């Protein structure tokens, strides 16, 4: 797992990011963007740029800084951040996220990261502070502002999973799905703030199933695709999501014939049995043990390389402590390194 620290304005943080990971970013470009460039031009890309320039100019500034620091053209830096929201690159969904409630109150958010071997090489822990002194610790791909898991200094934590794409045509009008929770970490203090920001902004690309929890003791399961959003909030009940939608409004998008559907259903059944909705005495120990289980259908430490479902990392986000813990390699080793957003 790569690790960098950033500080300053979006442009400054972007330059620091690009400079620190210049070789890795170029490898990411060779792996994904070079094949993308040989495909017909995607009209969704300029639409995403227009949406971000209008609604999230700070994100555009940071991406420009990444390109400057890495010494790559600005259009390549932008494409690296949005390519997997284009129809030609909608990778199969993976990952699972949970908010486990402790018997003494509060939630711990956990997420095992399912990915391919190339992407696993370039996963990056970022500890960042903006020009206003706000801090966040999160995980994304080198050269991007993606967030797959993270926590901020106000005590808001998130874990994200991919979910099915919309039934309608992907237009590019919205937040590219893997950066959808980036503004949440920087702009929101708690679950209600986050839900409100998400309600105002559509996503584009695949759907995202996310688990949120805050230091005030509230959690939410948020299913979002295109302009549609379904939310379940909780102060008492453990929450979890895999890669299918569970809400009645979005579940018609689930396709049980897809190659990854069996894994998703197996994990859902296992979580219903193993986790349910009950509180546990020690959420951290519970999640570490849960993420280490492997070798049977539904286990969260997956090993199905032919489907791109290999669990390379486990993440634990503690809203009260403002910490992000990342497994040292695959989570079945039960060893974690902790990073702070405070």
What pLDDT, on the 0 to 100 scale, is given for residue 333?
Answer: 95
Take residue 34 and report the two structure tokens written for it: 């070079």
Task: Name the pTM for this structure.
Answer: 0.95
Radius of gyration of the chain (CA): 18
User: Which pLDDT does position 325 carry in this prediction?
Assistant: 98
Query: What are 97-121's pLDDT values in tens digits?
Result: 999 999 888 999 999 999 888 889 9
90 has a pLDDT exceeding 70: no
Predicted pLDDT of residue 145: 98
The model's pLDDT over 3-17, given as tens digits with 9 standing for 90+, comes to: 999 999 999 999 999
pLDDT of residue 259: 80
* pLDDT value of position 65: 98
CA dihedral 194, 316, 96, 112 (to 10 degrees): 140
The closest of 164, 205, 225 to 81, measured between CA atoms, is: 205
pLDDT one-digit tens code per residue, 249-291: 999 999 998 888 998 999 999 999 999 888 899 999 999 999 9
Which are the contacts of 126, defined by CB distance < 8 A and separation ≥ 6?
3, 4, 5, 6, 17, 136, 137, 138, 139, 140
CA distance linking residue 98 with residue 166, whole number of Å: 23
Listing DSSP states for 239-298 in one string gives EEE-SS--STTTGGG--TTSTTHHHHHHHHHHHHHHTTT--BS-HHHHHHHHHH--SSTT
Nearest to 339 by CA among 180, 113, 129, 141: 129
Instruction: Say yes or no to pLDDT of 305 above 80.
Output: no
Give the span between the Cα atoms of 93 and 308, in whole angstroms.
9
- Interatomic CA distance for residues 338 and 327, integer angstroms: 9
Q: Output the six-digit token pair for 223.
A: 């299913």
Taking 80 as the threshold, does the pLDDT of residue 170 lie above it?
yes
For residue 284, count CB atoms less than 10 angstroms from its CB and return exposed for 0-12, middle for 13-18, buried for 19 or more.
Answer: middle
pLDDT of residue 42: 80
Distance CA 336, CA 330 (A): 10
């Amino acid at each position: 797992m790569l690790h960098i620290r950033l500080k300053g304005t979006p442009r400054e943080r972007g330059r620091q990011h690009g400079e620190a990971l210049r070789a890795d970013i170029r490898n990411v470009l060779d792996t994904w963007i070079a094949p993308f460039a040989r495909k017909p031009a995607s009209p969704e890309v300029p639409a995403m740029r227009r949406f971000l320039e209008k609604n999230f100019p700070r994100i555009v500034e940071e991406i420009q800084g990444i390109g400057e620091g890495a010494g790559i053209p600005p259009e390549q830096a932008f494409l690296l951040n949005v390519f997997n929201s284009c129809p030609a690159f909608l990778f199969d969904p993976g990952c699972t996220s949970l908010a486990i409630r402790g018997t003494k109150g509060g939630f711990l958010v956990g997420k095992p990261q399912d990915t391919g071997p190339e992407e696993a090489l370039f996963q990056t822990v970022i500890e960042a502070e903006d020009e206003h002194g706000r801090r966040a610790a999160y995980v994304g791909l080198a050269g991007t502002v993606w967030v797959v898991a993270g926590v901020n200094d106000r005590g808001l934590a998130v874990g994200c999973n991919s979910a099915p794409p919309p039934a309608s045509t992907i237009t590019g009008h919205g937040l590219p799905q893997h950066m959808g929770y980036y503004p949440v970490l920087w702009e929101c203090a708690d679950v209600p703030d986050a839900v409100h920001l998400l309600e105002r902004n559509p996503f584009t690309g695949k759907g995202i199933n996310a688990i949120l929890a805050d230091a005030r003791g509230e959690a939410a399961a948020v299913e979002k695709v295109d302009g549609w959003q379904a939310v379940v909030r909780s102060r008492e009940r453990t929450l979890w999501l895999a890669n299918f939608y569970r809400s009645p409004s979005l579940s018609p998008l689930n396709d049980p014939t897809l190659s990854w559907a069996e894994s998703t259903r197996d994990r859902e059944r296992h979580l219903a049995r193993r986790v349910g909705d009950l509180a546990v005495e020690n959420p951290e120990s519970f999640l570490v043990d849960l993420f280490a289980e492997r070798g049977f259908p539904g286990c969260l430490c997956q090993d199905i390389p032919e489907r791109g479902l290999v669990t390379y990392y486990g993440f634990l986000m503690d809203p009260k402590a403002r910490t992000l813990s990342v497994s040292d390699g695959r989570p079945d080793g039960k060893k974690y390194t902790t990073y702070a957003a405070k």
